[in-house]
Structure formats: C-alpha cells, structure tokens
Chains A and B, each alone.
Chain A
Amino acid sequence: MPNPIPQPTIVQPAERENYLNTKYGVWSWLLTTDHKRIALLYLISITFFFFIGGFFALLIRLELLTPAGDLVQADTYNKLFTMHGMVMVFFFLIPSIPAVLGNFLVPMMVGAKDLAFPRINLLSWYLYIIGGVMMLHCMLTGGVDTGWTFYAPFSTNFTNTKIVEAGLAIFVAGFSSILTGLNFVVTIHRMRAPGMTWSRLPLFIWAHYATSIIQLLGTPVIAVTIVMVAAERALHLGIFDPKLGGDPLLFQHLFWFYSHPAVYIMILPAMGVVTEIIACFSRKRIFGYSFVAFSSIAIAVFGFLVWAHHMFVAGMSVYAALVFSLLSYAVAVPSAIKVFNWTATLYKGSIHYDAPMLYAFGFLGLFTIGGLTGLFLAALGIDVHVTDTYFVVAHFHYIMVGGAVMGYLGGMHFWWPKISGKLYPEGWARLAALIVFIGFNLTFFPQFLLGYMGMPRRYYDYSHMPEFQVLNVLSTAGATVLGVGYLLPMIYFLWSMRYGKPASDNPWNAAGLEWKTASPPPTFNFDEEPVVTWEAYNYEELDSPDKDAPHNEEVPVAR
C-alpha cells in the first residue's frame, strides 16, 4: 500500500552495540566477566540439566503407570528417582532463578555496571560446570541409588553405588552457589546507584538478598555433611552408622539443616519474580512493600529453625518434635503475608493478562495449595501418617515446581525482551502457561490422594496394592501434558531469537532500572550512572498521561 507520509529511517536495533554483539567467538563467552553473559551461560547449562531431570521424571511416571515393575529394573528405578532429585535440586532449581535471572538483573536493578566480583561470578559458573560434569560422569558410569536425601547408614555402608562421586559433584556445585550468594550480598550492600535506598529497592532484590544469606550460611553445612559421608564410606570413621559407633539421626539433622532452607533458596527468588510481575501487570505499587520485603528476611531466618520437621517419625524425642512443629507454623506466617499482599495488590489495579501474569496467577494458586498442605505436614499427628508417602511428594512439588518453576518461567517471559532484545510469540506463550498449569495439577493433585491412601514414596512396584493404579495413571497422563508445556517455551524462545519482533527498551512499560536501558542492554548496563529519585513501582507516574511527569525520563544509553 502506498504510504503518503515519508518514513524516517529507523536505526536497526541490530546495529546498536549491546552485550550480545559487542564481541563474538567462543572465548568471548567462556572468558566473559559480564554478568549478563554469565547469566546466559547459566541459562543454557541449567536448561540442559532440566531436560535430563525431566527425562528421568518421565521414566519414573511411565514405570508407575502399571502396578508391576515392568519397564525398568528395581535398581534402575531407584537410580532414576535419585538422579531426578539430585539433578533437579542441585543443578536446576537452586541455580535457576538466582544464577540466571538474578545474575542478569541484580546489577541492573540496583543501577550497577556489574556484580561486585565479576571474576568470582565467572568462577562460580565454572564450578557449577565442573560439578555438573562430575555428576554426568557419575550418572553415566553407574549412578547412585540412595534417593537425593542420602540417608545414612544406607549411603555410607550399604549401597555399592557411586556415593562419593555424586557427593563430590554436589560439594563442588555448592561452592558455586555460595559464591553467587556472596556476590549478591556485596553487590546489594555496596553497589547501589545514588538514591537507590533500601526502601526503593525492587522486592526482587530483597528476595535475592534473603536467598543469598541462606546460600552463604546453609551451603557449608551440606558440604561438611558430604565430607562426613565420604569419610565414613571410604575410611570407616564411625559418624553415622551405629555399628561403627555413629548416630544415623545425626546425618538427618545435618542434612536437613541445609536442605530445608534450600527449599527457600528455590522459592524466595520465585516470590521476588512474581512480585515484580504482579506490580507491572496490575500497574500498581505493591501493597505493603515493607511487609513483603521483611517477610523475605523472616522466611530466611525462620527457615533455619524448622529442619527437624522432616524427622517427626525418625526416632527423635517428642519434645523436640513439639518445638519444631511450633516453629514450622511460625514460618508459615510470613509466606501467608506475602500471598495476602499479592492478592491485595490486584485490588483496584488495571490488570493485564499477558503470559508473565498468567504464570504469576499460576504461581499464586499452586503456591497457596502447596503452602496450605504444608500445614497438614507440620501438624504432628497427621505428619506421622502422611510423611514418606506421595502426600509429601505432591506437597513439595507444588512448592518447588508449582511455585519455583512457575516463577522462573514467568520471569523468563517477563524479562525475555530485555535478555534477547526480541519479543516472544504471546499467543503461544499464553497457551504454554495454560498447558503447564493443567498438566501440573493433573500430575500432582492425584498424588495428595495417593498419599493419604497410604502409598509410600520411592516404590518401584505396587502390585500388592493395585487400588493405587487409577490415580497413578492420571498422574502419568498429567506428566506428559506437563512435558509438552515445558518444551513449548524452549522452542518459541529459540525461535524468537531469530524470527521474533525486535523488542523496545521497555515493552511492558514496567518500573525498574533494568527497563530504562536498552534491550538488550549494553555491556556496562547504563551509559551514565543512574540517579534514583523515585520509589520502586512508580506505576502511577509511568501511566500518567502527562508526559512531563517527573521521573518518566529515560536514562541515557549508548545508541
């Protein structure tokens, strides 16, 4: 169609210098100290491990389709659920949001050029990769069959699988987690732009700050636990096995002292992501900013005091159980505060239903169910019945997959235009969000029922109790749907890198410094150090029809 108005020549975004096109070649990536490139390295690595862990999950679900153990051998099945847990926890969930989105966004959100220690940041990725390669080697040469919980004395003196090797892989990867946490704490303390006070920080930063504290204080404990397991296994030092004079409950205390807070390493960053998304797509400031911020810190602190609620039937004293049950209810309060504040934020908002918001809604629903079923498990009398059954399996998948992975995917969609400079196809993304939500519930809701009916977890063969089959079939059907839901985003993200429409600097018209720079951002994020004079979530100003409203100006960036 002929256009009567002559169009001005548009500067092609590809010509703009940014962190992606500033240098090419393998070494420019492998030796980069740019937090954004390291974030992408992490993205590729954790996606790889996510699909490995997902493949194991699919085999587990296929085996459980029929009561008899007919698809794989018992030992293979035991290795499958062990590897699924270890890969998903240590090589996907723990690094997922912090190492990808956190790495990419923390410096930008506080207005810094990079993290405080860029080289340590690169080192943390290498440690992750070394740990990952060790884990892959371990899996390819036989694997481990203890469950990701490594309970002693089974792990130390009975199984003949590769415990020490898997332990070392986790040991090394743990340092990567510690270094990421260290980098975030120092960056958030020391590198905030002028005017970026603690009360102006995005809540994503508060969530990552809380997470980092757990990473720093908790991870060393799992490291020493692994060393003790290796020492008992290799040197027969009596630590956990009563035959050698050890105490098996000591292992469980040490293991859960890290592994319970580790759940908060997974969920707190997702809470941070969801907070940003809800604010943006309701066009509102977050209801009760300081309560949401401090509830993150409260969760991090209380999270360290509830570990033994995994051990109510382990043979602990009843009085210890009482204390840990009480404290577990205490940690539920800050989580409840968050859910109420997110809900209240929607009130009188102007709500948009783009894909990130769909994931945030999904998160809210699934996290609520996951959290409330936690009340069942914290109730001593009920825990005795449902612990170590599928009820627990369903509960922690609602938190760790329904919560953390929904948050991760929501965040990936929300910041994808910033990361790649391209728009993802919105229709497909909404469809994928719907498929994930339906598939997830179909997979895991039946497991709550299975658990209360008494099906123990980690059962390869349930031919003695065929009454459990119907629910298992539903769960397996759901898992295939869920698998499709997870493949879709990977496909269209890759597609959009080549064919997607170029994204503007701020396609969502969102608050936050990361949206005030180019998409993709230049290597040092901002051309000039930004000076912050506005509160977080200043959507009122952003949506103001008055173009001259204060703080609506762009921070200058390289063109």
Chain B
Amino acid sequence: MASRVDALYIFLLIVTGMMTLLIFICLVYFAARFRSRPGVRAEQIEGSTALEVTWSTIPFLIFMVIFAWGAVVYFKERTPPSDSTEVYVVAKQWMWKLEHAEGQREINELHVPVGRDVRMIMTSQDVIHSFFIPAFRIKQDVLPGRYTVAWFRATKPGTYHLFCAEYCGTQHSGMVGSIVVLEPAQYETWMNGGSTGPLSATGEKIFAELGCSTCHGSDTQGRGPNLHGVFGKPVQLEDGRTVTADENYLRECILDPGTKRVKGFQPIMPTFQGLVSEEQVNALVAYIKSIAAAKGEAVKSVSTAAPPAQTNAQKNRSQVQ
C-alpha cells in the first residue's frame, strides 16, 4: 500500500513541481524583463480567450488524471482482501485495545505476521479517534456507535508507529502505540502465549449467557432468525429493504434491534445497548461470523466501505444512518 501511495505522491511532486517551476520562471522572468524603465510604457493587452481556454483545459485534464489515480489507490485501500486475519479494535480515551480473532488481547501494541493481510474492525467507546499507521500510509477514523474498517499488509518485519490522528482530548498525543511486524515463525511463537481461546468462542459463551440462543436457536427458525450462515448474505427487512448482513448490521441488530428488523419477525427483541461492552459486541459478531463458516459457507468479509455491487444503495444508506 505504501508503495502505491508513494508512487502517486512522486507523480504529484513531479507534476506540481513542473507547474510551480513554470509559474515561478514566468514570474521571475517577467518581473526582471519588464521592470519599469524610463520612457518605456506598458503595452496594454486585452486578454486572450484562446489562452484562457488552454490554461483551463490542460490543468483540468491533468487534474482528472490525478483524480482517477487517487481514486484507484483509495478503492484499493478501502477494499480489504477476502481472507484476511481479523483484529477487533476498540479505541477509548486514550488507549487502543486490540483483540485478535484468535483471542490474544493487546493494548497499544499490535503484533502481526509479515506478508499477511490484516483487517481491523474498529469502534470507539467514547469520542472519535483515528487509526493511523504512517509507515503503511493508512488512516481511518474510529467512530463511536459503528464499525469502520481498515486493512494493511506489512512487507518488512520491524516496529512501526501507531498514532491517533483525530484530536480526542487531553492525552491525544499519548494515544500512540506500535505495530510489531514479526516473521511468521516468531509470530507463531507469540501467538501461542496468553490466549483465552478464539474470540468466537468467547462470543459463543456470551451468546449463551445472555440467552440469545433461546430465540436464535441453532436448528429451527424460532422467535428470532436462525443466525447460521447469515453473515455476508443479503437480508430482507420488514420495511422492504435488503441489506447485507455485515459487521455493522449485526452490531446494529444487537444494540438497536428495532430499526432493521428481519422480514417475518415480531419486534420483540430487547436492546442490549448498555448491557454489553464494545468488546462483548465484538465477540458476539465474531461468533456469528464463525457460525456462517461452520456450516461450510465461505465467509466473505464484507467491507463496511466497499460493498458488493448489487446492494450498494442499501449499504450506503446503512452507512449514512
């Protein structure tokens, strides 16, 4: 990712450098050549439509090239590859809490293997933060009340800065950490220590403890929809819309079940807002995702940012809300 951004950056440096040079050379040359001399009067020039059209069109065309290139890089940044390692990130004033799908928890530090796609599913407990790794050229605001997603693939082992880039209060500048990129073997060793079991297993436990399984039974369609195989699939809503069951949708259904009710079900589910922590929501989401895969369905990681084409309209609406 860094090299893609840098390539565009260098292209822009060259293009804008040439534009700057052109303007500065004209300025300096005209300023020197046409400095006032006694007896020499300025020559009045009306203007030139041909010139105006030229110096509007050429920059505009150059701008369009930059725009298109920038958009391509951005879409790549915003579209996580489908089989990436997942890390759930909860930001709070003034700390990063990171939890691997495999269950390892970290604070202000994230260990990742070199060469693997890592997808962060992020939310905030309080104000807006921003997850920024300068070395990987990625940044994504982390919002309360919803998930945002970022991804990267580290190509070189080492330790890199992690910054909070959205001002978040007193210790904003203390909300820093590091990304530790390890060789696969080292990473395996690291992974073997200190896990409490996979996040989805934690989620399964919470799922049982909160009594979710009473309605969302595993075999039959009970009072609530069967959640097996739901993740990543389109869902028909009571109000006629169709949404994709991505992380944000699952999260919304747990915290605010009324708004996007599945077609054919009664509005009987209570809200879990305030009853579960952000980490518990993450675990529940991870569990529901895992039971989509368990049934032999391919889990397709659906980005919150770049949805599949057929449900764009619905997706966008769900993001705006």
Given contacts A346-B31, A384-B139, contact A336 B59 (CB under 8 A): yes
Q: Is A427 an interface residue (CB 8 A)?
A: no
Docked-complex contact A382 and B5, CB < 8 angstroms: yes
A127 at the interface (CB under 8 A from B): no
Residue A145 CB within 8 A of the other chain: yes
CB distance from A18 to the nearest CB of B (A): 31
Q: Does A243 lie within 8 Å of B144, measured CB to CB?
A: yes
B70 at the interface (CB under 8 A from A): yes
A154 within 8 A of B: yes
List A contacts of B127 (CB < 8 A). 151, 153-154, 158
Write the nearest CB–CB distance from A381 to chain B, whole angstroms. 3
In residues 52-77 of chain A, which contact B (Cβ within 8 Å)? 69, 74-75
- B265 contacts chain A at the CB level, 8 A cutoff: no
Verify B59–A378 contact, CB threshold 8 A.
no
A317 touching B316 by the CB < 8 A rule? yes
Is A337 in contact with B45, judged by CB distance below 8 angstroms?
Answer: no
* A-side interface mostly: helix
A385 and B139 contacting across the interface, CB-CB below 8 Å: yes
Residue of B with least CB distance to A241: B144
How many chain-A residues does the 8 Å CB contact rule pick out?
94
> Does A473 touch B at the CB level, under 8 Å?
no
**Are B41 and A384 closer than 8 Å at their CB atoms?**
no
Interface check A435, CB cutoff 8 A: no
Q: How far is the CA of A333 from the CA of B52 in the complex (A)?
A: 11
Q: Which residues of A contact B75 (CB under 8 A)?
A: 318
CA distance A418 to B36 in the complex (A): 24
In the complex, identify which listed stretch (A221-229, A368-376, A521-529) lies at the interface while the others stay far away.
Answer: A368-376
For residue A500, CB closer than 8 A to chain B, the reply is no
What per-residue 1/0 map shows which CB atoms of A29-46 lie under 8 Å from chain B? 000000000000000000
Q: Are A313 and B140 in contact (CB under 8 A)?
A: yes
Q: Which of B37, B72, B173 has the most CB of A within 10 A?
A: B173
Against A, the Cβ 8 Å flags (1 = close, 0 = not) of B57-82 are 00110011011011111111110000
User: Which among A348, A368, A378, A461 is the interface contact of B42 at CB below 8 angstroms?
Assistant: A348
Kindly state whether residue B214 has any CB partner on chain A within 8 Å: no
CB of A532, distance to nearest CB on chain B (Å):
19
Which stretch from B157-165, B186-194, B219-227 is at the chain A interface? B157-165
Q: Known contacts A242-B144, A543-B42: does B176 contact A385 (CB below 8 Å)?
A: no
| Contact, CB under 8 Å: B47 / A288 | yes
8 Å CB contacts to A: which residues of B1-54?
4-5, 8-9, 12, 15-16, 19-20, 23-24, 26-27, 30-31, 34-37, 40-48, 51-52
Pick the contact of A385: B30, B138, B169, B312 (CB < 8 A). B138
CA distance A146 to B170 in the complex (A): 10
How long is the Cα–Cα vector from A316 to B67 in the complex, in angstroms? 18
- Asked whether any CB of chain B lies closer than 8 Å to the CB of A258, the reply is no
Does the CB pair A459–B172 fall under 8 Å? yes
Q: Once the chains bind, are B173 and A284 in contact (CB under 8 Å)?
A: no
Partner pick for B30 among A283, A333, A347, A459, CB 8 A cutoff: A347
Q: Nearest Cβ distance between residue A159 and chain B, in whole angstroms?
A: 7
The interface residues of chain A lying within 8 Å CB-to-CB of B143 are: 242, 248-249, 314-315
Residue of A nearest to B66 (CB): A379
Q: A346-B27, A382-B8 are in contact. Are A247 and B321 (CB under 8 A)?
A: yes
Are the C-beta atoms of B139 and A388 separated by less than 8 Å? Answer: yes
Tell me whether B138 and A364 are in contact (CB under 8 A): no
Partner of A284, one of B42, B72, B93, B168: B42
- Nearest opposing residue in chain B for A381, CB measure: B73
Among residues of A, the one whose C-beta sits closest to the C-beta of B48 is A288
Whether A198 sits at the interface, judged by CB under 8 Å, is no
B8's contact among A284, A340, A379, by CB below 8 Å, is which?
Answer: A379
Q: How far does the alpha carbon of A146 sit from the alpha carbon of B93 in the complex, in Å? A: 14
How far apart sit A340 and B54, CA to CA, in the bound complex (Å)?
A: 11
Complex Cα distance A312/B148, Å?
A: 13
List the 7 closest A-B pairs by CB distance, nearest first: A454-B134, A242-B145, A381-B73, A379-B70, A380-B74, A288-B47, A346-B30
A sample of 13 more A-B contacts (CB under 8 A), given A154-B169, A312-B74, A454-B163, is A288-B51, A313-B139, A317-B319, A317-B320, A326-B67, A333-B60, A376-B9, A378-B66, A380-B71, A381-B4, A381-B72, A382-B73, A465-B161
